[in-house]
A and B are shown apart, each in its own frame.
Chain A
Amino acid sequence: MIPAATLFGLGAALIIGLGLFGVILHPEPLRKVLAFNLLGSGVFVLFGVVARRGGGRLEGVPFGDPVPQALIITGLVVAFAATVLAVALVLRLAQADWTHADDSHRGGQGQVPQPSPDAAPDTSADLSPGLPPDQARAPSPRAVGPAAASRSVPNASPPAAA
């Protein structure tokens, strides 16, 4: 007879393997971040299994070892902070890619740009409706990089105060 904790432990081992697979093989950075979260979740469950085994039952109510549980809560919050930072970096990188692609495209290289990370073809219908192509071409995108930043300084508005 397998106790429930062991069952979840085995599941966690599988989840860790799946997450690791995604982290290594997914070509899109956002999906890598997602897979890393999956991997982390598996590790937390594994730790949770250790916590459950260290606990017991009090008046029929099961309880776990509070020390690993507290560490898991800390871990969840820190994992979220790391995820936010990673996502912000990925999006910034995508912007930088586009600016780079823009430069090489305008320079007549005709180079196919590195697209932003999550362009799934089957969900790629329009998200920014109502923008005709001519209007869409006119405004400059958010500038990235030192050169680009200086380019867009003149129309910078002073930062809004609270």
Chain B
Amino acid sequence: MSFSITLTVNEVARTVTLDDPRVTLLDLLRERLDLTGTKKGCDRGQCGACTVLVDGRRINSCLALAISHDGAQIRTIEGLAKGDELHPVQAAFIAHDGFQCGFCTPGQIMSAVGLIEEAQAGADPERVREGMSGNLCRCAAYAGITRAVLDAQERMAGAGRKDAA
């Protein structure tokens, strides 16, 4: 049995034929669409490395079956920068040393973009830390990550660029 699904990934419509219903959204992005920026860490919903935005919301793509997301709008790390111009969250992670090895970084950044979009944390560092608790960093760059998220959020609000998320 094969299934054809259509996803809009980083604003491009992609139709994929699946010959197996077990494919996760994470594996579809990496193996079928060559979008390997989204990382496979634990593959069990515990580390957050696979975080992407689905219909504007951050989720763990490792626990999402691709077949059940037919028609969804997906945004991945590859869809953030505009050419050579980094997204404000990407720029802030560099400015604040929000990573060391970098493996968790795409998930951290997508989670941060989602968090800023959700607008629940505000400028409270404790709420930002709690709001980023679904993303583990084994290098423990957490202090830089928190500063990066707060800084990016402020810049995006200041620039009136909420829609950039």
A-B interaction: no
* A interface residue numbers (CB < 8 A to B): none
* B interface residue numbers (CB < 8 A to A): none
